[in-house]
């Protein structure tokens, strides 16, 4: 069964030469009253003609230089960003774990955030309360359950994000460099968790610069460069390719 | 990408709406000692000052000015606070909007629901005071929640528009601030409709907020039934605003995460 299908996907960002946020500035930009240079922008294609399919139960690694479009791709699959062209079909519940947290409010406490996030992911309040202890336990944050999120360290926030996402029991995980912030113990725990996902036939898209992790878990890996898929195939080969490209002067 | 219809997602996300509304409430009064009491002190202070100004300085000659003023003032506060807080209902939740997908209009709805609860509490707590000051409670009082629900539709519609546009243009903060200041004097809050010259009366009374305030004053101060026109103008403009607001909002929604 197909979990994610991406067809002919294009995504453009505008890079303004100076940011415009008031109506006057925009009017001036449109009418070109003020100097052109200041109000013009460049188009930047972050993703170009992306096509691929992920079967459910597959673990896919996504690698590539900084700015190659990895995060943008995940953000479009989760519907946070809109594509300029193309079609994305996703079957099943998606839990994105993007850099630093999963959608938390800094002024709310750990527990309050778990409740909000849980209900965004479609859990009933009763179910969230039932799972609260195991979420806090996995994140090792029992002591901090009434602390405001902004007072937690970045590692703690990622731990919380990870454990709350796991407990909402999604079909598809989109993980963006989340593990890099956690300590060794937590990384080890996540790896155990990955193994369990694998046995339960979950789908994962895994963006990482930790190539050893990709090698260990992903049958297939996608190499992105400048918004294009350079290669999508067996992890070993793609990673070797990537390393060879990097070594070139 | 497939989009869910509004009504469907409201059912599916009813607990989320509840949780977000509770969150709004908590954040509003967090780190504040008096909390909700501020919401009562504010209109009361306004009432005392305006009563002093209008019964001693200007001698407007309105009988029982506090009862004349306070209910319309509360209704106006409901409108102005809800709409101006909705300006930040997307921007203020940037950490959610940029990290996870859910229908963004639920944020606007829950911000407004928190204000609906707040304003209902204001009315409820200040009601005994109004009765003590000579307000009569009659069968007509039943129409108060109805007119407030109609007002809520106006608020929701305007909030959709403001919340969405403010993501793209921060000017709307200022624009709306000025609009509300003007609105306070353009609606018959501190004066009665009788002061409006006849030839302006038609245009003046097309403003739905004028009708809300007039209807509330008729119910609680004059103890007469509001006219059908009062109800219809608020209801129809409410419906139009909700539909137009939702349309504008859903057009702009896909770009929110990028613009924030």
- Structure confidence at residue A144 (pLDDT): 94
Rounded Cα gap, residues A216 and B202, in angstroms: 76
**DSSP letter string over A33-65?**
-S-HHHH-EEEEEEEEEEEEEEETT-EEEEEES
- Structure confidence at residue A36 (pLDDT): 53
CB pair distance less than 8 Å for A120 and B254: no
CB pair distance less than 8 Å for A105 and B23: yes
Spell B28-56 as b/e; 16+ CB within 10 A means b: beeeeeeeeeebeeebeebbeebbeebbe
Two tokens at B34? 């008096």
Say if residue A175 is exposed, middle or buried (CB neighbours under 10 Å; 0-12, 13-18, 19+): buried
Determine phi and psi for A111, rounding to 5 degrees: -65, -45
Alpha helices, H only, B133-227: 143-168, 171-186, 198-204, 208-217
Residue A164 above 60 pLDDT?
Answer: yes
Q: What is the pTM of this model?
A: 0.89
pLDDT tens for each residue of A195-244: 888 888 899 998 988 888 888 888 899 999 999 999 999 999 999 989 98
- Structure confidence at residue A33 (pLDDT): 54
Percent helix, strand and coil across chain B, each to the nearest 5? 80, 0, 20
Cα–Cα separations (whole angstroms), residue B65 to A146, B59, B123: 47, 11, 17
Two tokens at A185? 């113990």
The upper half-sphere exposure of residue A159, i.e. CA atoms within 13 Å in the direction of its Cβ, equals 26
Nearby residues of B90 by Cβ (< 8 Å), 6 or more positions away: B97, B104, B107, B108, B163, B164, B166, B167, B256, B260
For residues A70 and A148, the answer to whether their CB atoms sit within 8 Å is no
Taking CA–CA distances from A113, the nearest residue in chain B reads B23
Which residues in B lie closer than 8 A to residue A81 (C-beta atoms)?
257-258
Spell B177-196 as b/e; 16+ CB within 10 A means b: eebeeebeeebbbbbbeeeb
What order of strands is seen across the sheet that includes strand A228-234? A94-97, A172-176, A203-207, A59-64, A220-225, A228-234
- Structure confidence at residue B1 (pLDDT): 39
> In chain B, which stretches have pLDDT less than 50?
1-5
- Structure confidence at residue B4 (pLDDT): 47
CB pair distance less than 8 Å for A124 and B15: yes
Q: Cβ of A243 under 8 Å from any chain B Cβ?
A: no
**Nearest alpha-carbon partner for B242 in B116, B156, B115:** B156
Work out the angle between the directed axes of helices B228-252 and B105-132 (0-180°, nearest 10). 150
pLDDT tens for each residue of A192-203: 888 888 888 899
Q: Where are the beta strands (DSSP E) in chain B?
A: none
CB pair distance less than 8 Å for B258 and A13: yes
**Nearest alpha-carbon partner for A8 in A51, A66, A37:** A51
- Structure confidence at residue A37 (pLDDT): 53
For residues A91 and A3, the answer to whether their CB atoms sit within 8 Å is yes
For residues B27 and A108, the answer to whether their CB atoms sit within 8 Å is yes
Rounded Cα gap, residues B72 and B150, in angstroms: 15
- Structure confidence at residue A131 (pLDDT): 93
The β-bridge partners of A109 are: A148
Which residues in B lie closer than 8 A to residue A104 (C-beta atoms)?
95-96, 99
Residue A249 above 80 pLDDT?
Answer: no
pLDDT tens for each residue of B78-132: 999 999 999 999 999 998 999 899 999 999 999 999 999 999 999 999 999 999 9
pLDDT tens for each residue of A46-99: 999 999 999 999 999 999 988 899 999 999 999 999 999 999 999 988 988 876
Q: How high is the mean pLDDT of chain A? A: 86
């Amino acid at each position: 069964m197909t979990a994610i299908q991406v067809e002919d996907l294009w995504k453009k960002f505008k890079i303004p030469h100076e940011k415009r946020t008031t109506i006057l500035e925009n009017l001036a930009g449109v009418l070109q009253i003020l100097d052109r240079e200041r109000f013009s922008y460049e188009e930047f294609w972050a993703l170009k003609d992306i096509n691929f399919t992920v079967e459910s139960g597959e673990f896919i690694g996504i690698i590539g230089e900084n700015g190659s479009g990895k995060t943008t791709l995940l953000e479009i699959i989760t519907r946070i960003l809109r594509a300029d062209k193309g079609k994305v079909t996703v079957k099943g519940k998606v839990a994105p774990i993007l850099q630093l947290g999963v959608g938390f409010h800094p002024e709310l406490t750990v527990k309050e955030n778990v409740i909000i996030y849980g209900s965004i992911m479609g859990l009933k309040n009763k179910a969230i309360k039932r799972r609260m202890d195991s979420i806090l336990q996995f994140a090792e944050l029992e002591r901090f359950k009434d602390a405001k999120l902004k007072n937690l360290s970045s590692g703690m926030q990622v731990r919380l994000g990870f454990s709350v996402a796991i407990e909402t029991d999604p079909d598809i995980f989109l993980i963006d460099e989340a593990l890099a912030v956690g300590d060794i113990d937590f990384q080890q725990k996540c790896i155990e968790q990955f193994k369990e996902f694998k046995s339960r036939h979950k789908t994962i898209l895994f963006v990482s610069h930790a190539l050893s992790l990709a090698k260990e878990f992903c049958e297939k890996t996608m190499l992105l460069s400048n918004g294009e898929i350079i290669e999508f195939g067996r992890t070993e080969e793609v990673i070797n390719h990537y390393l060879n490209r990097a070594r070139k002067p | 990408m497939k989009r869910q219809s509004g009504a469907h997602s409201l059912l599916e996300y009813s607990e989320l709406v509840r949780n977000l509304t509770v969150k709004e409430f908590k954040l509003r009064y967090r780190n504040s000692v008096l909390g909700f009491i501020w919401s009562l002190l504010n209109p009361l202070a306004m009432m005392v000052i305006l009563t002093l100004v209008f019964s001693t300085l200007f001698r407007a000659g309105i009988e029982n000015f506090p009862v004349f003023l306070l209910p319309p003032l509360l209704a106006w506060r409901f409108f102005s606070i809800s709409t101006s807080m909705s300006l930040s209902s997307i921007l203020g939740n940037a950490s959610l909007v940029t990290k996870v997908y859910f229908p963004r209009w639920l944020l606007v709805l829950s911000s407004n629901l928190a204000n609906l609860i707040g304003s209902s509490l204001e009315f409820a707590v200040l009601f005994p005071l109004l009765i003590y000051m000579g307000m009569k409670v009659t069968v007509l009082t039943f129409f108060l929640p109805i007119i407030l629900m109609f007002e809520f539709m106006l608020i929701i519609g305007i909030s959709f528009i403001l919340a969405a546009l403010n993501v793209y243009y921060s000017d709307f903060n200022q624009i709306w601030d000025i609009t509300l200041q003007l609105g306070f004097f353009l609606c018959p809050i501190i004066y009665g409709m009788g002061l409006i010259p006849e030839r302006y009366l038609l245009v003046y009374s097309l403003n739905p907020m004028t009708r809300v305030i007039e209807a509330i004053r008729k119910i609680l101060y004059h103890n007469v039934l509001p006219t059908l026109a009062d109800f219809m103008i608020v209801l129809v403009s409410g419906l139009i605003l909700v539909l137009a607001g939702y349309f504008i909002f859903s057009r702009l929604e896909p770009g929110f995460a990028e613009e924030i």
